[in-house]
Amino acid sequence: MLHKPLHLNNLCFSLPNKTCFEGFSSQISPGSRIALMGCNGSGKSSLLRIIQGQVEPTSGTVHRPEDVRLGFVPQIIQGFQDLSGSERFQATLTQVLSQDPNVLLLDEPTNHLDVHNRRSLLRMFHSYQCTLIIASHDVDILRFVDTLWHIDNGRVHVFSGNYDDYQREMGVKRASIEEELSRLDRQKKELHHAFMKEQQRAKKSQARGQKSIRNRKWPTIVSNEKAKRAAETSGRKKSTLTHRRNDLLDQLATLRLPEIIMPKFSLKVGEAHGKTLLHITEGTVGYGEHPILTEINLSVRSGERIAIRGDNGSGKSTLIKAILTQKEVTRTGTWTISNREEMGYLDQHYETLQPNHTVFDAIHTLAPSWSHAEVRAHLNDFLFRKNEEVNALVSTLSGGEKARLSLAHIAAQTPRILTLDEPTNNLDLDTRNHMVQVLRAYPGALLIISHDEDLLESIQIDAVYTIMEGRLTP
């Protein structure tokens, strides 16, 4: 099952509008555990396909020894049209493993997996003896590997260790640079203070010198030369400090300190406090005369955070559709639901956004009373700052940009209860962190479907309900 090392030599991959990465060389040894990480669109999938041989690099070469047997499971799986996303992945992985590969490449393998299937996949990774190369935003996968390839700013940065090691090292580097920047700023202030004292001393000296000149004690040139030397010395020291500071700022920029979103919501914390927003007694949901869930008993009060878990196909999304009063879902039992205008919805496909709207229009339509400056200020909070970003059509946005705009929607017209269906699927780590920041600050009630346990812990869920065998249980 072992293989000779693969060699990647000076790889470059460019698209018509950008260079994803260049100058990347590496060796893939047998038994390696490598994760590719980076923002959406950075080139992770392309690098996997270059290794696999489906895509040619713009320049550079991949040497694949004859004993290497490659298996590849893509992010978007063609075929198996009657199966769910999870079932398609399982069928394709089984098919690939039957060919006995000794190098397995996987592109975002946990995107559509429920908790049970995700844990099974992670157990399989731990027992798999051959080489694994995985493109993923899943923190648990990033913690499992022993090597990270981080595609960022046109380069592939190789790090030996897992995600926690990487985060610690980046934190130490950032703290060290920020400490030195702080020290330089203090030195600059001290230098400025010393220079001001020298100027004051020179003024007094000059005044005495003028008196000495008038009294014919020493020539003017001596006084002028002293002041000139003091200014030159101060200028050299300032220039050295400025160059060093700029160098440190460049280093800090390469560490990619993520921006933080600090949202302002139209709904204030405590409004309608204690009010029951959703109450279901002995409910059933399904399609036509075929119930999928029965004996549903669920209550959500303002400010509560409720998570719903269950296997793929268990009926989680159907329950959300029933709560949102979508017509294709039939329901029975007693349903007391807040005003539909007070309910918000965010799913992994961002279907609440209008593709023909600009980013500006998307917010201005929700808040027509806001001035142009107020809309721009709100969008600025969600990192839409440049004119070309604000005027871009929704249909041209990346997945991460659509996620941020959806969050801006929620803040501009904040619902009292927000339902979310797998909101972090397909998100890169930066955008996922933005999602966490906004949901943690959100003042209303949350009802969320997610297999992302780290997300649920981060947003401080109050209660978890599980769907098993057609029933919802706390």
How does pLDDT run along the chain (474 residues), one tens digit per residue?
A: 689 999 999 999 998 778 999 999 999 999 999 999 988 778 899 999 999 999 999 999 999 999 999 999 998 787 777 777 788 899 999 999 999 999 999 999 998 888 888 889 999 999 999 999 999 988 889 999 999 999 988 899 999 999 999 888 888 877 887 787 777 777 777 766 766 776 677 666 666 655 555 555 545 445 455 555 555 565 666 677 677 767 766 666 665 556 677 777 776 655 556 688 899 999 999 998 888 999 999 999 988 999 999 888 888 889 999 998 888 899 999 999 877 778 889 887 788 899 999 999 999 999 999 999 999 999 998 889 889 889 989 988 877 788 889 989 988 988 889 999 888 887 888 888 888 989 998 988 999 998 888 889 999 999 999 998 899 998
CB atoms within 10 A of CB 383: 17
CA distance linking residue 279 with residue 424, whole number of Å: 27
Query: How large is the angle between the packed helices 399-412 and 429-441, nearest 10 degrees?
Result: 10
pLDDT, residue 228, reads 58
Q: What pLDDT sits at residue 196?
A: 74
Question: Which CATH superfamily groups domain 276-473?
Answer: P-loop containing nucleotide triphosphate hydrolases (3.40.50.300)
Q: Where are the domains of the chain?
A: 6-161, 169-254, 276-473
Q: Which residues contact 69 (CB under 8 A, 6 or more apart)?
A: 3, 99, 100, 101, 102, 103
Residue-level pLDDT at 231: 56
The structure's pTM equals 0.68
Question: In this predicted structure, what is the pLDDT of residue 97?
Answer: 95
In the prediction, which pLDDT does 242 show?
A: 73
**Contact yes or no for 121/109 (Cβ under 8 A):** yes
Residue 456: phi, psi to the nearest 5? -60, -40
pLDDT of residue 337: 86
What CA–CA distance (Å, rounded) separates 379 from 389?
Answer: 10
The letter for the amino acid at 74 is: P
Report the pLDDT value the prediction gives residue 234, as an integer from 0 to 100: 58
Fold of 6-161: Rossmann fold (3.40.50)
Residues in the chain: 474
Tell me how far apart the alpha carbons of residues 217 and 221 are, in angstroms, rounded to a whole number.
12
Same fold, 6-161 and 276-473: yes
